[in-house]
């Protein structure tokens, strides 16, 4: 057995317990044992590290362990003392890794149980602890399967049910018993009935939230809580327990890189038991709802993926009416590209279309001339909503007062009744009902939305304009805010039509385009962030309905074509011009490309193109402007020259055939120049210094 560290060694304690079923006193007890052990050996205590409610099967989330290892790395202690090895880790690989790091730092691992840990003990205990965990998992699974076979359940309690408190003949609690909760089951039945009637999950959640009905977690209702997961049988609309069918082992968990990964199991791997006493939903309603979910909501991912661009699916060709899609960054007509039924070969830059639409939207739509009538209708709707809000709040407040008064009367009657009489039991039941009604009314009153103040027309337009600016800024990011901004801005536009104007400029689809934009005014007004609680079913989804304000605006403009290569060409022109200015013979395309490659990368849409392509674009631009021409020698000497140089093609060709004569100048000896300074003035005496 290895010898213990000498007295005076710096020692650190580490303690841990696994679950919230244990107490903090577990760590206190471990530290007390470590303190007694180290004091007996005259070690100097450095610091105590601990992790509460942290499993030993992983190192994830164990801040105390990492803090201890960091202190070890800094050489702040010499001995690590734990109650037993399993306090450090129950995973064999993790335990060996921790021990290896401590050994490399010359830190002794010691336990209160057995002293200094040897290599043999470390290997044996690490494997033993890991097997202990696996055996516990198997025992837990056997116990759960036994409970299922006896008609009980395992896991959390589904919404609509409550736990049954019952003991066996030995007085021990019987776990896994469930019964229907009358209040929650009524909500479950309502959700299934409304979904069967054609309402969307959004509409159902909005109604429940407006009425103050608490969700399973006590928060606001969300569509995800109703839809759940199609593979896991989760969610109020998908959980089969509501038709009396309990699925055990819906998920399986595996540990991967210190984290637990959960996956849904196939139905064949589950244990399914029947509980007709727990059925809440009629089987026919259940079957219809499952069919609707499968038809509309369980489509493959590739059929319901989010749009990639803000106007995907809403841009159309003005010639044939087909959808225009993005190809190589430009909108093209699918009627021509895929079907061959359209003559529209025009291509237009996607970014230019989106940018100009948002700019024109603020210019052409956000004014009192266009929105005046709609905003008047909106303000009228706000007034009606305020009246409804006040009336509803007044009714609820009056009902609450009546309920409280009725409760007071029943309390007086109950005080005069015998505790065991039938009348007393009836009074108690009525008090329970009224108490629940009182809580419901108080919740509705407390959660009532604030009154909406519309303001004037100019204020609403200014609010919409600010929101548009914010959304446009978020659109340039790469996060969830950008996705939300794209969806909101997309909702403003219902249709974009592209019509070619004039003829093509380069034979490749370039040219001017007339853009016609349509959109609902109600969605634009909604950007003012004033919810007036007016939602109706419109088409396949709910949307705001503002009476006669629910009309469509439209405008059109000509998007002039601009060559996207010009930005790069303008940046490259100084380099090309420098070559042409100092050229004694035509400059070849290869020499231009070489110079561009040696220069710093330019800024523009074509910066990712090769120097050869950039040189061709620059020369093409100069020739179109009439600044340069080509001197074609049909050899590698073919090149380009300035027109303003005044030389004819023959003279340029002659320069190539007979290069200018050059004559070598012999070396010239250069010496320092000699200088003589003559001073003119009165004659100096002999005592003066002479100057020459």
Burial of 117 (0-12, 13-18, 19+ CB in 10 A): buried
Give dist(CA 528, CA 464) in Å, integer.
5
Q: Which of 536, 559, 582 is the last residue of a domain?
A: 559
Q: Are 50 and 14 members of one domain?
A: yes
Give a yes or no: residue 193 inside a domain. yes
Kind and range of the H or E element at 109? strand 108-111
**DSSP letter string, 476-505:** TSSSHHHHHHHHHHHHH-SEEEEEEES--S
Give dist(CA 692, CA 689) in Å, integer.
10
Higher local confidence (pLDDT), 170 or 181: 181
Q: State which residues form the domain around 272.
A: 161-304
Residue 42's pLDDT band, with cuts at 50, 70 and 90, is very high
The 8-class DSSP code of residue 587 comes to B
Amino acid 478: pLDDT: 54
Backbone angles phi and psi of 262, in degrees to 5: -110, 135
The 8-class DSSP code of residue 117 comes to P
Q: Are 181 and 269 members of one domain?
A: yes
The CATH number that applies at residue 242 is 3.90.1750
Give a yes or no: residue 492 inside a domain. yes
Q: Are 555 and 590 members of one domain?
A: no
Contacts of 278 (CB under 8 A, 6+ apart): 161, 178, 179, 180, 241, 244, 246
Q: Is the pLDDT at 457 greater than 60, yes or no?
A: yes
Higher local confidence (pLDDT), 231 or 103: 103
Assess contact for 225 and 456: CB atoms under 8 A: no
Tokens 């399973």 — which residue?
216
Amino acid 77: pLDDT: 93
Amino acid 547: pLDDT: 42
Instruction: Read off the tokens for 686.
Output: 């002999």
Residue 81's pLDDT band, with cuts at 50, 70 and 90, is very high
Assess contact for 557 and 514: CB atoms under 8 A: yes
Q: Are 555 and 570 members of one domain?
A: no
Nearest alpha-carbon partner for 622 in 589, 657, 665, 660:
589
Give a yes or no: residue 170 inside a domain. yes
Give a yes or no: residue 54 inside a domain. yes
Give a yes or no: residue 436 inside a domain. no
Q: Are 232 and 337 members of one domain?
A: no
Amino acid 510: pLDDT: 78
Q: Is the pLDDT at 329 greater than 70, yes or no?
A: yes
Kind and range of the H or E element at 45? strand 44-51
Tokens 């759940």 — which residue?
228
Instruction: Indicate if the alpha-carbon torsion angle 106, 112, 115, 119 is positive or negative.
Output: negative
Instruction: Read off the tokens for 387.
Output: 């009246």
Q: Are 278 and 201 members of one domain?
A: yes
Neighbours of 324 (CB within 10 A): 30
The 8-class DSSP code of residue 375 comes to H
Q: Is the pLDDT at 13 greater than 90, yes or no?
A: yes
Amino acid 188: pLDDT: 92
Q: Is the pLDDT at 184 greater than 50, yes or no?
A: yes
Assess contact for 57 and 91: CB atoms under 8 A: yes
The CATH number that applies at residue 89 is 3.40.50.1390
Higher local confidence (pLDDT), 147 or 595: 595
CA 420 to chain centre: 61
Phi-psi region of 185 (alpha: psi -120 to 50; beta: other; left: phi over 0): alpha
Q: Which of 524, 559, 594 is the last residue of a domain?
A: 559
Among 327-336, 451-460, 535-544, 585-594, the least confident range: 535-544
Give dist(CA 344, CA 154) in Å, integer.
64
Assess contact for 453 and 467: CB atoms under 8 A: no
Among 11-25, 45-59, 168-182, 531-545, the least confident range: 531-545
- Helices 611-624, 589-598: axis angle to 10 degrees equals 120
Mean pLDDT across 167-180: 79
As a whole-number percent, the residues of the chain with pLDDT over 90 amount to 10
Burial of 380 (0-12, 13-18, 19+ CB in 10 A): middle
Find the distance separating the first CA and the last CA of the chain, reported in whole Å.
Answer: 104
Give dist(CA 416, CA 404) in Å, integer.
19
Q: Are 202 and 72 members of one domain?
A: no
Q: Are 174 and 298 members of one domain?
A: yes
Q: Are 186 and 69 members of one domain?
A: no
HEC profile of 263-300: EECCHHHCEEEECHHHCCCCHHHHHHHHHHHHHHHCCC
Q: Are 186 and 218 members of one domain?
A: yes
Among 125-129, 358-362, 614-618, 684-688, the least confident range: 684-688
The CATH number that applies at residue 601 is 1.10.10
Give a yes or no: residue 673 inside a domain. no
Amino acid 541: pLDDT: 38
Instruction: Read off the tokens for 266.
Output: 């196939």
Mean pLDDT of the chain: 76
Give dist(CA 490, CA 495) in Å, integer.
10
Give a yes or no: residue 342 inside a domain. yes
Q: Which of 140, 173, 201 is the last residue of a domain?
A: 140
Among 49-58, 241-250, 516-525, 668-677, the least confident range: 668-677
User: Alpha helix locations (H) across 150-293?
Assistant: 182-196, 201-210, 223-227, 283-292
The beta strand positions in 141-257, using DSSP E, are 161-163, 178-180, 245-248, 251-256
Backbone angles phi and psi of 387, in degrees to 5: -65, -45
Phi-psi region of 155 (alpha: psi -120 to 50; beta: other; left: phi over 0): left
Neighbours of 368 (CB within 10 A): 12
Give dist(CA 507, CA 85) in Å, integer.
78
Backbone angles phi and psi of 184, in degrees to 5: -70, -35
Q: Are 294 and 326 members of one domain?
A: no
Give dist(CA 497, CA 518) in Å, integer.
9
Instruction: Indicate if the alpha-carbon torsion angle 675, 680, 686, 689 is positive or negative.
Output: negative
Q: Are 343 and 488 members of one domain?
A: yes
The beta strand positions in 502-577, using DSSP E, are 512-520, 535-538, 541-544, 552-559
Give dist(CA 35, CA 491) in Å, integer.
67
Q: Is the pLDDT at 454 greater than 80, yes or no?
A: no
User: Beta strand pairing status for 495-501 and 512-520?
Assistant: antiparallel
Express each pLDDT in 633-659 by its tens digit: 888 888 999 988 888 888 888 887 776
Q: Is the pLDDT at 598 greater than 90, yes or no?
A: no
Q: Is the pLDDT at 537 greater than 90, yes or no?
A: no
Amino acid 49: pLDDT: 92
Give a yes or no: residue 674 inside a domain. no
Q: Is the pLDDT at 316 greater than 90, yes or no?
A: yes
Higher local confidence (pLDDT), 626 or 410: 626
Number of domains comprising the chain: 4
Assess contact for 502 and 436: CB atoms under 8 A: no
Q: Is the pLDDT at 250 greater than 80, yes or no?
A: no
Residue 548's pLDDT band, with cuts at 50, 70 and 90, is very low
């Amino acid at each position: 057995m290895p010898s213990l560290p000498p007295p005076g060694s710096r020692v650190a304690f580490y303690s841990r317990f696994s679950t919230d079923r244990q107490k903090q006193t577990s760590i206190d007890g471990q530290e007390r044992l470590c303190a007694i052990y180290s004091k007996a050996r005259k070690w100097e205590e450095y610091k105590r590290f601990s992790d509460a409610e942290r499993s030993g099967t992983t190192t994830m989330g164990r801040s105390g362990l990492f803090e201890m290892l960091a202190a070890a790395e800094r050489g702040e202690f010499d001995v690590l003392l734990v109650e037993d090895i399993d306090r450090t880790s129950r995973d064999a690989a993790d335990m060996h890794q921790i021990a290896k790091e401590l050994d490399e730092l010359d830190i002794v691992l010691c336990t209160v149980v057995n002293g200094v840990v040897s290599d043999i003990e470390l290997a044996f205990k690490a494997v033993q602890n890991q097997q202990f965990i696996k055996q516990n998992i198997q025992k837990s699974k056997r116990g759960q399967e036994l409970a299922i076979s006896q008609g009980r359940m395992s896991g959390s309690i589904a919404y609509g049910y409550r736990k049954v408190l019952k003991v066996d003949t030995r007085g021990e609690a019987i776990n896994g018993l469930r019964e229907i909760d009358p209040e929650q089951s009524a909500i479950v039945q309502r959700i299934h009935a409304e979904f069967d009637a054609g309402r969307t999950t959004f509409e159902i959640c909005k109604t429940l939230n407006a009425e103050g009905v608490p969700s399973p977690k006590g928060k606001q209702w969300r569509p995800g809580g109703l839809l759940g997961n199609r593979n896991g049988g989760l969610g109020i609309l998908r959980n089969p327990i509501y038709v009396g069918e309990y699925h055990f082992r819906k998920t399986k968990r595996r540990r991967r890189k210190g984290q637990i990964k959960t996956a849904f199991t196939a139905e064949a791997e589950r244990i399914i038991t029947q509980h007709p006493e727990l059925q809440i939903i009629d089987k026919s309603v259940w079957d219809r709802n499952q069919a609707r979910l499968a038809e509309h909501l369980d489509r493959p991912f590739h059929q319901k993926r989010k749009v990639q661009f803000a106007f995907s699916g809403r841009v159309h060709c003005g010639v044939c009416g087909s959808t225009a899609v993005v190809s190589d960054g430009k909108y093209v007509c699918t009627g021509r590209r895929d079907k061959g039924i359209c003559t529209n070969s025009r291509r237009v830059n996607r970014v230019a279309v989106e940018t100009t639409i948002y700019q024109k939207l603020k210019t052409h739509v956000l004014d009192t001339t266009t929105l005046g009538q709609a905003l008047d209708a909106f303000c009228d709707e706000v007034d009606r909503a305020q009246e409804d809000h006040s009336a509803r709040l007044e009714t609820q407040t009056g009902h609450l007062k009546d309920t409280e008064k009725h409760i007071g009367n029943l309390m007086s009657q109950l005080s005069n009744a015998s505790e065991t009489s039938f009348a007393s039991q009836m009074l108690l039941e009525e008090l329970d009902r009224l108490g629940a009604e009182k809580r419901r009314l108080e919740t509705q009153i407390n959660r009532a939305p604030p009154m909406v103040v519309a303001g004037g027309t100019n204020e609403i337009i200014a609010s919409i304009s600010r929101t548009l600016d914010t959304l446009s800024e978020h659109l340039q990011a790469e996060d969830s805010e950008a996705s939300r901004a794209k969806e909101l801005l997309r909702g403003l536009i219902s249709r974009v039509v592209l019509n070619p104007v004039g003829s093509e400029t380069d034979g490749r689809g370039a040219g001017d385009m007339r853009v016609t934009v349509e959109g609902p005014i109600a969605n634009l007004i909604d950007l003012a962030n004033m919810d007036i609680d007016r939602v109706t079913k419109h088409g396949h989804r709910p949307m705001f309905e503002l009476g006669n304000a629910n009309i469509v605006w439209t405008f059109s403009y000509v998007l002039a074509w601009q060559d996207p290569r010009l930005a790069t060409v303008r940046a490259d022109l100084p380099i090309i011009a420098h070559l042409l200015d100092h050229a004694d013979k035509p400059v070849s395309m290869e020499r231009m490309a070489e110079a561009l490659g040696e220069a710093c990368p330019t800024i523009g849409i074509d910066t990712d193109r090769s120097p050869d392509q950039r040189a061709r674009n620059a020369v093409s631009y100069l020739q179109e402007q009439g600044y340069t021409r080509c001197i074609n020698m049909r050899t590698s000497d073919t090149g380009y020259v300035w027109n303003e140089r005044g030389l004819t093609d023959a003279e340029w060709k002659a320069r190539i055939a007979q290069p200018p004569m050059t004559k070598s100048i012999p070396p010239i000896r250069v010496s320092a120049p000699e200088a003589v300074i003559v001073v003119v003035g009165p004659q100096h005496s002999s005592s003066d210094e002479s100057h020459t």
